[in-house]
Amino acid sequence: MEIRPIASALMRNKSALVLIALQVAITLAIVCNSVFIILERIEKVNRPSGLDEPAIFAISSSGFAPGFDLDGSMRQDLDAIRSTPGIIDATAINSIPLSNGGWSEGVSDKPEGTPLKDRKQESTSVYLVDEHAVKSMGLELVAGRDFTANDVTVRTQEDVGKAQSIIVTQALADRFYPDGAVGKTIYAGGLVDDGRPVTIIGVVKRLQAPWVGWDKVEHSLLVPLLQQGENQARYLIRAEPGQRDRLMPEIEKKLGEINSGRILRDLKSLEEIRGDSYRRDRAMSVILGTVIVALLIVTGLGIVGMASFWVTRRTKQIGTRRALGARRFDVRRYFMVENAIVIAIGLALGVVLTYGFNLWLMQHYELPRLAWYYVPIGIVTMFLLGQVAVSGPAGRASRVSPAVATRSV
Amino acid sequence: MLKMKNLSKVYRTHMIETHALRGFDIHVREGEFVAVSGPSGSGKTTFLNIAGLLEDFSAGDFHLDGIDVRGMDDAARSRLRNEKIGFIFQGFNLMPDLNLFDNVDVPLRYRKFDAAERKRRIDAALGRVGLSSRMKHYPSELSGGQQQRVAIARALAGSPRLLLADEPTGNLDSLMARGVMELLEEIHSQGTTIIMVSHDPELAARAQRNVHIVDGQVTDFDEEPRFDAPAANTPSPVAAPPQIA
Amino acid sequence: MFRYNLWLAAVSLKRNPVLTALMIAAIGLGIGMSMTSFTVLSTMSGNPLAHKNELVRRVQLDNWGAEQPFREPNEPPELMSYRDVTNLLEKGEAQYKAASFPNVLPLEPAQRELTPYMIQVLFATGDFFPVFEPPMRYGQGWGKAEDRDATRVVVVGHETNEKVFGGENSVGRKLRIGGEDYAVVGVLGPWNPQPKVHHVSNGAFGGVEEVFVPFAIGIEKELQSSSNNSCWSEGDDDDATGYRGWLESDCVWLDLTVQLKDQEQVAAYRRFLDDYVREEKKAGRFPRELNNRLYSVSEWLSAQKVVSRDARTQVWLAFAFLLVCLLNTVGLLLAKFLGKSSEIGLRRAVGASKPQLFAQFLTESAVVGVVGGVLGLALSLLGLLALRTLYAGTSQEELAHMDWNLVLVTMGVALVASLLAGLYPTWRACQVQPATQLKTQ
């Protein structure tokens, strides 16, 4: 078609061409990579935790009164909570999932002395719970059995407890025993004091570690230990559907009445806790989204501005073309094609920039490679943006009267 | 070839109506060379614009090459301009960013010629105005006379039946002007109808027929060339074709 | 001449209001976005101890297990074991030695109307105050004797003093924490170092502890850190159990920062640490190769990657965005200035020199820059407000505050950016030859 003469005319105005093309290139690189990061964050935020999140809330208790009886108050508290109508179950727990604070431990399939090359080792989060944990969290037990009251022992500062059995997540079980983990043993130095292994009695489909940004976030252990140290206790409570918001203040009040020699704090629903933990990821997504929108607007308006100016500057040329037989459509098409050529040049550079930027992100931020479809989608978007942006000025150009050609100035 | 009857053109701006043409009658026959003259603001350019289908008219009849152009839509008028009319402008109106080849190519692009046909026509048109060797040059590298010859080549490339020239020598010195005039005469002698607007009596004198417009109406209509200006000031026509550098 | 140029710029900018608005908006948006992210980054990259950066040193010993480093590649733990901290508090020549760990304790206000609440407590040696220099409003810190005897003394932070003592000089009064009475010896003024150099393990930003008590009390009360406690093996061969065992283990949980007199002492302390580890190796500890660190504050902050990756990415993106905005402005200015070639030709013809024309067009760019800068400043304030909302409740919230330096930087960047953007179009415009412009059209 008429690409060659348009292109050669463009080459006579290199600076304008280069300026728009560079904008388009940088815009493509930023938009592709930012969308990529945003989608990655959204995926991260939307990962299931394995818990029945909408129904769960948590509360902590810190005793300060002299002679505070932690053991007694914990039993009283848990009895009171569990007997409240509308509560499904509750467990004592050392840290709340998604809360970004907890205990991590290195576990292995062989004893500590074994050389590293002969054994598998993995990091995992550790939840110290009682026999109500699986039900309280709403976990899905996929193999083996749940804890019973007999499994649970007490852990204090002096005594690490007598944990014999544990429940692991599927992800952790697969690392050690992909052919079935129930009945197998693992070594977890911090759980026992004599170097003996503990037995896997059950596997849950999913239970995330407390740290949402951790690369081993799917690795968790449930250990039947009641932790009693520093007069601290923490409860994870599951309400019946729709009852949570009503029960939260009620439980807080009830616990306060049981024992006033303590401070009740951190009464939060798991949804709130999740929101707090993922706030940075949300914020990053919003910020990147803002950058993308602002960038597209600026680039689009830049194209509008430049195109308008060139239309004004070339009014006489347009009139002449009209006089020589160009239809309105031909004039409009001229500007559209011109725009498409500029955008295409920018995009060619932009593809290089996009992958360069992605490579840099991969090296510095351990981001995966850009999926193949980002660039084509980005290219189509930028083309559409260019065509929409230029359509106004191009329309104006097409309305230039051919009589302009005979005007002397 | 071109026939206007009782044509009028009214410009409306706010409350003021300006009659650029009124009761305008003209009939240009096939193969004629007509010079149109008149004072500034008399309606010369309006006439040219309407004749070239660049502007619509308000009332009256206008047949171009036997076709009634009244009420024609823009696309049809564009096609008619492209196929039947060649334009030569006072300011040359070349595209500064295109070389000579591409400039001459402009009107051809709007026709369904294939690449070979376009090239043949461009070569022929540029050859006819003596600029074949400069195809790759840009307008800014040429003198005014050469630029106007490119414009003429552009007008000729589409083999128009009618050539409209608006003060074709207005921006040229007399030597260059004479060269351009020679070219127009040559084109006319090969059968193209030419309507030329000019207030230069010497040029007008070289046309077959002179039309004088005053206040949007044809006041003077003669069959034979004649001089309005004192002969003393008029240089004699040159016999040999002028050399335009 | 400047006023004439300014007037010409105003006239020219008013002639194309849409184009002018577009340029100002582009500069403003670019400046606003980059300054917003830059503010956060610059706060993150701050160093509250910059004035004695080289002399304040963070002590790190690699007491980790032989099989794996604490963190790849071969990084020693950022915290220390109790065993090494007590040894280093005794031995080694340094001006100050600040050891500390955080925890929470219940605070029972004397007033009836205030209910008990949990408070962040820093258990620290008395040297904490001269090393980290919190502003002491009333009283002072404590000395070696209180550290040794675990005397119940407390330095109260500004907010707690406001809340519990109504903001008055509370030195000498009693504060009940964790079921015991502490004598107030010092009261701090507002103190909010970013990053909080003394403890970065659980996030380097956000509020600091509100109450400071002697380190030895925390040990006496058998507390661990409420932040990170990391172990690589637990009680393999020793027979001590419980808290004793914890204190004798190689578990790391304590911050140790020393301040030295001069570079000579820094070098000497480095040698001392190496000698100390070699000595301990003879006793069977420190299975890894000698891998001690004695980072200055700035080295420490960069090794701990205190500046978040997100903040860095945001700054990169924001500056790329600014670049696009500038390219945009260059394009628009170029289109505009080239459209004035006849005016330029005329001015040249009537005697304007190239430098004079240069000044005229550069003034126009500068006006765009200044107005764009003001807009950018307003947008950065808005941006920071938005960031505070977005990051509400996280430690990042603290970072989004504008200061006056930044206002100046913003205006400077805007002006320089727009002058740069104006440079090429101006230069192109001034290449116009007076003769050619007057001849054609």
Neighbour-count burial for C60-91, b at 16+ CB within 10 Å, e otherwise: bbbbbbeeebbeeeeebbbbbbbbbbbbbbee
What φ, ψ does residue B14 adopt, rounded to 5°? Answer: 50, -115
The pLDDT of residue C439? 43
CB pairs under 8 A between A and B: 92
Tell me what percent of the residues of chain C surpass a pLDDT of 70.
Answer: 94
How many angstroms separate the CA atoms of B168 and B159, rounded? 19
CA A80 to each of CA A90, A248, C93: distance values in angstroms, whole numbers, following the listed order: 10, 13, 57
Task: Return the C-alpha torsion angle A268, A272, A278, A281, nearest 10.
Answer: -140
> pLDDT category, B234, cuts 50, 70, 90?
very low
Pair of tokens at residue A91: 């467990």
> pLDDT category, C143, cuts 50, 70, 90?
very high
CB pairs under 8 A between A and C: 158
Q: What is the pLDDT of residues C105-114, one digit of tens each?
A: 889 888 777 8
DSSP state of C43: H
Q: What is the pLDDT of residues C336-358, one digit of tens each?
A: 888 787 788 778 777 778 888 88
- The total number of residues shown for chain A amounts to 409
Say if residue C12's pLDDT is above 70.
yes
Q: Any chain C CB within 8 A of the CB of A315?
A: no
By Cβ distance, the residue of B49, B81, B91 closest to A325 is B81
Q: Using alpha carbons, select from A164, A227, A173 the residue that is nearest to residue A192.
A: A164
The pLDDT of residue A145? 94
- The sheet carrying A262-269 orders its strands as A87-92, A232-239, A56-63, A262-269
Q: Count Cβ atoms below 10 Å from residue B138 Cβ, excluding itself.
A: 17
- In angstroms, the separation between the Cα of residue B233 and the nearest Cα of chain A is 27
The average confidence (pLDDT) of chain B is: 84
The secondary structure of A230-269 as a DSSP string is: TTEEEEEEEEPTT-HHHHHHHHHHHHHHH--SEEEEEEEE
The pLDDT of residue A98? 92
Closest chain B residue to A329, measured at CA = B75
Q: Average pLDDT for residues B163-178, to the nearest whole number? A: 87
How many angstroms separate the CA atoms of C426 and A344, rounded? 28
The average confidence (pLDDT) of chain C is: 86
CA B11 to each of CA A70, A197, A316, B57: distance values in angstroms, whole numbers, following the listed order: 98, 101, 21, 10
Of A250-254, A393-397, C71-75, C397-401, the one with minimum mean pLDDT is C397-401
C308 contacts in A (CB within 8 Å)? Answer: 280
- Can you count the helices (H) and strands (E) in chain B? 7, 10
Q: What is the pLDDT of residues B48-64, one digit of tens each?
A: 899 999 888 889 999 99
How many angstroms separate the CA atoms of A71 and A78, rounded? 11
- If you search the block for the tokens 């904008």, which residue do you land on? A23
Q: Report strand pairing: C153-156 vs A103-108.
A: unpaired
Task: Return the C-alpha torsion angle B52, B57, B62, B66, nearest 10.
Answer: 50
Question: With contact defined as beta carbons under 8 Å apart, do C97 and C196 qualify?
Answer: no
Q: What is the pLDDT of residues C13-61, one digit of tens each?
A: 888 888 888 889 988 999 888 888 888 888 888 888 989 999 999 999 9
Tell me what percent of the residues of chain C surpass a pLDDT of 90.
Answer: 36
- If you search the block for the tokens 């010195």, which residue do you land on? B173
Say if residue B233's pLDDT is above 60.
no
By Cβ distance, the residue of C33, C327, C394 closest to A23 is C327
By Cβ distance, the residue of C25, C327, C391 closest to A19 is C327
> pLDDT category, B243, cuts 50, 70, 90?
very low
Q: Average pLDDT for residues C309-316, to the nearest whole number? A: 85
Question: With contact defined as beta carbons under 8 Å apart, do C252 and C62 qualify?
Answer: no
In this prediction, the answer to ipTM > 0.85 reads no
pTM (predicted TM-score): 0.81
What residues 192-231 of chain A have any CB closer than 8 A to a CB of chain C?
193, 195, 230
How many angstroms separate the CA atoms of B185 and B179, rounded? 10
- If you search the block for the tokens 């009782």, which residue do you land on? B6
Give which of A338, A404, A406, A409 to mutate to test B binding, by max B Cβ within 10 Å.
A406
Q: Average pLDDT for residues C126-139, to the nearest whole number? A: 94
What residues 170-229 of chain C have any CB closer than 8 A to a CB of chain A?
178-179, 222-223
A302 contacts in C (CB within 8 Å)? Answer: 22, 26, 327-328, 331-332
The secondary structure of B16-43 as a DSSP string is: EEEEEEEEEEEEE-TT-EEEEE--TTSS
Residue type, B25: D
Question: With contact defined as beta carbons under 8 Å apart, do B1 and B63 qualify?
Answer: no
A10 contacts in B (CB within 8 Å)? Answer: 97
The pLDDT of residue C438? 44
Pair of tokens at residue C38: 């830059």
Q: Count Cβ atoms below 10 Å from residue C416 Cβ, excluding itself.
A: 13
DSSP state of C208: P
Cβ–Cβ gap C314/A365 under 8 Å:
no
C181 phi-psi bin (left φ>0, alpha ψ -120 to 50, beta other)? beta
Say if residue B118's pLDDT is above 60.
yes
Residues B82, B84, B85, B86: is their CA dihedral positive or negative?
positive
Question: With contact defined as beta carbons under 8 Å apart, do C396 and C205 qualify?
Answer: yes
How many angstroms separate the CA atoms of A267 and A256, rounded? 12
Q: Average pLDDT for residues C157-173, to the nearest whole number? A: 92
By Cβ distance, the residue of A317, A323, A327 closest to B75 is A327
Say if residue C138's pLDDT is above 90.
yes
> pLDDT category, B220, cuts 50, 70, 90?
low
3-state secondary structure of C185: strand
The pLDDT of residue C267? 93
Say if residue C165's pLDDT is above 70.
yes
Which stretches in chain A have pLDDT values below 70?
Answer: 1, 408-409
> pLDDT category, C441, cuts 50, 70, 90?
very low
Q: Could you list the beta-strand ranges (E) of A170-313.
A: 185-188, 198-204, 220-227, 232-239, 262-269
**Helix (H) / strand (E) containing A155:** strand A153-155
The pLDDT of residue B230? 38
What residues 73-102 of chain C have any CB closer than 8 A to a CB of chain A?
none
The pLDDT of residue A224? 93
How many angstroms separate the CA atoms of C43 and C50, rounded? 13
3-state secondary structure of C251: coil
By Cβ distance, the residue of C104, C241, C336 closest to A193 is C241
Q: Average pLDDT for residues C8-15, to the nearest whole number? A: 84
How many angstroms separate the CA atoms of B169 and B148, rounded? 8
- The sheet carrying B193-197 orders its strands as B85-88, B162-166, B193-197, B33-37, B209-214, B217-221
